[in-house]
Amino acid sequence: MSTSDHTCSTIKSRLRQFKFREVLSEDISSKTIWILGSICNKNDTSDVVPGENAAVLTLERLAFNEEKMTECGKHGLNNQTTSAFETIKLDSGEQNDVYSWATGFIDSSTLGPDVRVSLIFPATQKHIDKHRRQQRKLITETSDLYSSAVKPFIDAQPASRIQWVYNILTKKVEADRIVFEDPDPENGFIILPDLKWDVTNSASMYLVAIVHRKDVKSLRDLTDVHLPLLKNIRNKAKIAAQKYHVSQDKLRLYIHYQPSYYHLHVHITNVDLEGRGIAADRAHLLDTVISNIEDISADYYQRVTLAYALGSDTELWSHLQSQS
């Protein structure tokens, strides 16, 4: 059994045991919903316990596959005379002059998979809080606030939280998904598709470069010492993107602050991809980061004030509140 088949089999088995608890949140722009539940035997009536039986299920509607759509449009279904559009089942609809619209259903076998299923199990309270709908608060982080409160918080995070990152870097998992690697321990990195991308539509290409060195946790750690690493990622990203027929002038490279995990990584997306992590209060373009360090000050990110949004239920927000 291939790794992919084994993963699908595992997910199917867990979904059969999944017990719905609540909808944590939804994003209508990305057509994604996050659901909290537990994975246990059918007769088990115990409550959701973070770190034990809790599970976060993500369902995301996938974009249409242009290549598959073109194939079905030109040659019909399975090269038969039946058009892919004939199979669309419509229910309610309206018309106004030359415009008409309706809702309906497309057989998933017609144009390929239409939903992406992700599962976190066992899910910790941090996983649950991350995906729960919550109020957002804007933080203005001065260098003093970073030194006195944020850096101690980051340093206190257990290494076990990013063990999955180390598993990728050591190729214990996902080795077959790596599209580029520079093995240099100081300036090297691995590039692979982000889990949020279905790896089918180049217009929504989303890759991530994860650095090999373990001493850089966030944007705040970067100095002129890291310029060779940052420039190496910028220069080599185009090689990885070429695999998906995305040219260099279509690439957007950026670093999140605050990041979702504290091990330096750079997001590499098609510039046509909107709405995923590119907000001004989180994304810092790699070209700008390099320029700030190289042209303004080697310790720019140790001195600058950074503003970002936090969810009101996040650990960092609670920590900052306790320090004020």
Angle, vertex CA 240, rays to CA 234 and CA 246, nearest 5: 95
> Which residue in the block uniquely carries the two structure tokens 């608060």?
137
The three-state secondary structure class of 63 is coil
Peptide bond into 122 cis (omega under 30): yes
How far apart (Å, rounded) are the C-alpha atoms in residues 119 and 108? 21
The catalytic position among 226, 256, 265, 284 is 265
Are residues 29 and 6 in contact, defined by beta-carbon separation less than 8 angstroms?
A: no
Angle among Cα 39, 160, 13 to the nearest 5 degrees reads: 20
The DSSP output letter for 159 is: G
Read off the tokens for 252.
Answer: 């957007």
CA separation for the pair 247, 230 (Å, rounded): 19
CA pseudo-torsion sign 318, 36, 200, 87:
negative
Establish whether 265 is a catalytic residue: yes
Separation of alpha carbons 7 and 274, rounded Å? 29
- State the catalytic residues: 265
